[in-house]
Chains A and B, each alone.
Chain A
Amino acid sequence: MEALNKFVEYTSVSSIAGPLLIVEGVKGVAYGEIVEIITPTGERRTGQVLEISEDLAVVQVFEGTTGLSTDKTRVRFTGETPKIGVSMEMLGRIFDGKGRPIDGGPEIIPEKKMDIYGYPLNPVSRRTPEDFIQTGISAIDGPNTLVRGQKLPIFSGSGLPHNQLAVQIARQAKVRKEGEQFAVVFAAMGITSEEANFFMEEFRKTGALEKAVVFINRADDPAIERILTPRIALTTAEYLAFEKDMHVLVILTDMTNYCEALREISAARNEIPGRRGYPAYMYTDLATIYERAGRVKGKKGTITQLPILTMPHDDITHPIPDLTGYITEGQIVLSRELHRKGIYPPIDILPSLSRLASKGQGKGKTREDHPKVMSQVYAAYAEGRNLRDLVAVVGEEALTERDRAYLKFADEFERRFVNQGKDEERSIEETLDLAWELLTILPREELKRIPEELIEKYLPKK
């Protein structure tokens, strides 16, 4: 029956709602299987079974339902779960959100086909991430150190330079070990053509494309297709990492567009929503994306994830950043205020956090003084920012000498440490040295978080 079903075309679409089709009278259809839809004009679209009862299937159509009718649409159930053909030839290529080449190059001849939903990694098979990745960006490498196998999102806002930052990281990221292979898997969801061009141009220009696989779902591509894009990208990443021993950096942008697509499907199904209209299962759904990162036993390759999302109304408690933060291992937060001041990248280190930072810092990884000097810098910047608020109330005259030093520190920290060129790549030593130099602004007795030996050794003499 299964084999036969592949050839059966159903014309029994009984209703269409949003991105969903209801097909009646079906037989032998499996939950989750891929569906081919032939529109009244003969165009082919792809869908997936979301719910199946004895003779009724609910199908989501990835390209959307525009132009479909209940009487002239034909539906064929393929008996397959969603898969993508992968191969090493994908490196250097650009695909659409469903994995079809859009760079004018040839079709990919797959080495194998992989299920895009994948399987959960066995927690027993994981290894704690610990290898420092140098992004060349001080505000990340210093206080928010990224390690191989981590998932660290960028929480941005509309109009902030997260794309710029993403390509800079993609270009600069390296682990300081010899002879290892890298790849970048880049998945864009719902980005404008202008942004898409920016990415493709940047990747080409800098030579980053050679070691990259790029998937682009544009803003005018079907929204539902966005459900597939990150999964296709991560399946490719798993292939490169766990079968081809590569260290893969996956950049997913913009997860907010992904979540909107999820909400659209949920609304079309009349599901009981969770917070602010987003589906109650959004946490689980996002986890099946974000958890596909890590370092595992017996495999040389790793997957590091850098998802990017724009916080609606810059609100960090909005369900999209909130649920993301509950799953990922920290977050890098971009600030509109710093951006307005002309600081690039506008990373606010106070709400930012890399939970695995301590695994990648210190002797043998970066430098012995790394954790302590950063803890001091963080505390000093926090104090400076507090004082800035206070000055706004009581005026600068009320401040002591010490307080003024902190204010100056905060300003210089933003201007010299956080701020850097769009092409400027700083080694971790440069980053740490810069931190020490800034600390000379403070009275020496304020450096309470750093052991005396380290101060002796690293603090520049005034």
Chain B
Amino acid sequence: MVVGKIAKISGPVVVADGMKGSKMYEVVRVGEEKLTGEIIQLRGDRAVIQVYEETTGIKPGEPVEGTGTPLSVELGPGMLRAIYDGIQRPLTEIETKTGSIFIPRGVTVPALPRDVKWDFVPTVNEGDYVEGGDVIGTVKETKPIVHKILVPLGIKGKIKEIKSGKFTVEDTVAVVETEEGEEKEIKMMQKWPVRKPRPYREKLPPVIPLITGTRVIDTFFSLAKGGTAAIPGPFGSGKTVTQQQLAKWSDADVVVYIGCGERGNEMTEVIEEFPQLEDRRTGSKLIDRTILIANTSNMPVAAREASIYTGVTIAEYFRDMGYGVLLTADSTSRWAEAMREIAGRLEEMPGEEGYPAYLASRLAQFYERAGRVKCEGSGDKEGFVCIVGAVSPPGGDFSEPVTSNTLRIVKVFWALDANLARRRHFPAINWLQSYSLYIDDVTPWWQEHTGPDWRELRDEAMRLLQKEAQLQEIVQLVGPDALPDKERVILEVARMLREDFLQQDAFDEVDTYCPPMKQYMMLKIIMTFYRKALEVVEKGVEPQKILKVSVKRDIAKMKYIPEDKFLKEVAPAILEKIERELEALLENP
């Protein structure tokens, strides 16, 4: 292995000489304390290294050792329920090993436990022909998730030997004889370099919506399975709460939650809450299908840069088993800033606002790793990775480089709005600014699973909200009395849409998750009210009277009623009451 010498230290960036023979992105051990670092630039025999641990106390002249391997993750049973730092060091094991509440440096603990024996159940027989990506056996890792053991990519041949029983991740569970007659031992653990996307057979169209249970998302700005979304917003506008809601309730099999340069307490919240919360679909606990990556704002900045890659590689690996994976990254701005900080120390020519010129391409490469795919292997496994990235624009200004470059890539934009948050309108997703480019793709799904008029209802509601914004401008100037009756109805119904449909409290026991059919019925009821109200107003009823009907209160309470009861009893009653109460106004216009 290459051994060089430190020439210069500046924060997380170390320059080493005598590194001839090293490779880009190779992992190196820096200094006497053997801190983990990665080569990010090579010039002659001089390497620039980003170090994943605090560098205080390191001196020029200390050794730098190459490892010959690029920064990689360990993939295999033991990842679910784990909490890792940005370079996949298991934080719970670090706590146990050090007995400290702090993370000291220089600790090495393997990502996957080496002593746990997993129950390996083979799914192939001797003599079967297998190739990279094929499943050769399974391990029931947690209650809802069966970990499929995949033939590492690049291996192809006949199963010469297959075992069954309890093994550690380093034990051989199968032997494959390749066409060249070579014997390859297969273990439950494999490694993959994080900066290299894992391949797939083909990308599939994003036609199935990811159901998140958040109405403004599902009904108005839908994310497709395999799709990409960005959620930019100023501080306190709801990025983290929204992402946690998605992680809790969306219909993905596996969730990779990356806390990238954000608060320690927010990770703690997930760690404490997810083991308690029940997964609606499987009846087990949410933590059983979750992997957490926590590189909080006070942890080393270079590991923050790596955390995004670590997370997405793990997500792809579960995708390759045929699972649907949701990856949330909070916040991609901190990731971009980590890049900027490192680039600044390299004295690279900066681009916009000091960000490196490659910011846009890095962002694109990251989101490009999302997708619904036909997986590698000979079977017909399909899986997906959805990526949802929070963006934290300075001063809430969406024109800054990270937000604007992200918006050029992602297909869904949930624009968080400080004004809405300040009015405690949550989720504070601005309905005039946000968009989803998947709406047409997912419309057939909604029509099939809710009602044929789903799209009309949605579009009409959207038009009302847009119209409301125009009318509000007029009202600001001349007061509401100046508006024609019909437009006063629009204002009233738009308010209903905002308060009774769009607003959804993440902390309400029932309303925290709203199933698709309930969303549809709620919307249908409000739009029925709208049409009926228009009808009677056209027949001469004063708009003020409409404000007073008692069914309005029933509509306001819809969100707090559990789906079953709502669909069976409440919704039909409300529809009937709208008809009855508004009709009654005609008798006495």
CB <8 Å contact, A52 and B9? yes
Contact bitstring A215-247, B, C-beta under 8 A = 1, else 0: 000000000000000000000000000100000
Q: Which of A123, A280, A283, A299 has the most CB of B within 10 A?
A: A123
What is the number of residues of chain B that contact chain A, defined by CB distance less than 8 Å?
A: 65
Q: How far is the CB of B420 from chain A (nearest CB, A)?
A: 12
Which candidate, A169-177, A197-205, A286-294, A334-342, is the interface stretch facing chain B? A286-294
Give the shortest distance, in Å, between B302 (CB) and chain A (any CB): 11
**Which residues on A sit within 8 Å (CB–CB) of B7?**
53-54
**Which residues of chain A come closer than 8 Å to B397, judged between CB atoms?**
317
B101 touches A296 (CB 8 A): yes
Also in contact, A325 and B236, with CB within 8 A (given A274-B353, A287-B297): yes
Residues of A near any B CB (own CB < 8 A)? 28-33, 50-55, 81, 117-129, 149, 242, 271-275, 280-281, 283-284, 287-288, 291-292, 294, 296-299, 317-319, 322-323, 325-327, 329-331, 350-351, 353, 355-356, 358, 375, 378-379, 382, 393-394, 398, 448
**Is B92 part of the binding interface, using a Cβ–Cβ cutoff of 8 Å?**
yes
Do the beta carbons of A283 and B344 come within 8 Å of each other?
no
In the complex, which residue of chain A has the Cβ closest to the Cβ of B99? A298
Q: Which residue of B lies closest to A127 (CB)?
A: B268
A322–B394 CB distance below 8 A: yes
Instruction: Say yes or no: A291-B263 contact (C-beta < 8 A), given A121-B101, A326-B235.
Output: yes
- The verdict on A351 contacting B422 (CB below 8 Å), with A122-B95, A291-B298 known, is yes
Residues in B with CB closer than 8 Å to A127 are: 268, 272
Cβ contact within 8 Å between B344 and A272: yes
**CB distance A284 to B424 under 8 Å?**
no
Q: Which residues of B contact A274 (CB under 8 A)?
A: 340, 353-354
A-B contacts counted at CB < 8 A amount to 187
CA distance A227 to B298 in the complex (A): 16
Which of B58-66, B434-442, B534-542, B562-570 faces chain A?
Answer: B58-66
Please pick, from B105, B298, B424, the residue contacting A287 in the complex, using a CB distance under 8 A: B298
Q: Among the interface residues B60, B267, B301, which one has the most CB atoms of the partner chain A within 10 A?
A: B60
Q: Mask for B319-356, Cβ within 8 A of A = 1, else 0?
A: 00000000000000010010011001000001001100
Contacts of B298 in A (CB 8 A): 120-121, 287-288, 291-292
Partner of A273, one of B104, B271, B354: B354
Given contacts A124-B91, A272-B350, A298-B101, contact A291 B57 (CB under 8 A): no
Q: Please tell me which one of the listed residues A51, A126, A149 contacts residue B9 in the complex, with CB atoms under 8 A apart.
A: A51
Interface string of B258-291 (1 = CB under 8 A from A): 0101011101110110000000000000000000
CB distance from A450 to the nearest CB of B (A): 14
Q: Which of B35-72 contact A (CB under 8 A)?
A: 54-61
Which chain B residues lie closer than 8 Å to A273 at the CB level? 354
Measured between C-beta atoms, what is the minimum distance from B340 to chain A in Å?
A: 5
Given A121-B103, A124-B95, 8 other A-B residues pairs in contact with their CB atoms under 8 A: A31-B55, A54-B7, A125-B102, A274-B340, A297-B101, A326-B392, A329-B265, A382-B422
Chain A residues, CB < 8 A from B60: 29, 52-55
Q: In the complex, A52 Cα to B9 Cα: how many Å?
A: 5
Closest chain A residue, CB of each to CB of B301:
A284
**Which B residues are in CB contact (< 8 Å) with A119?**
54, 102-105
Cβ-defined contact, A122 with B102, below 8 A: yes
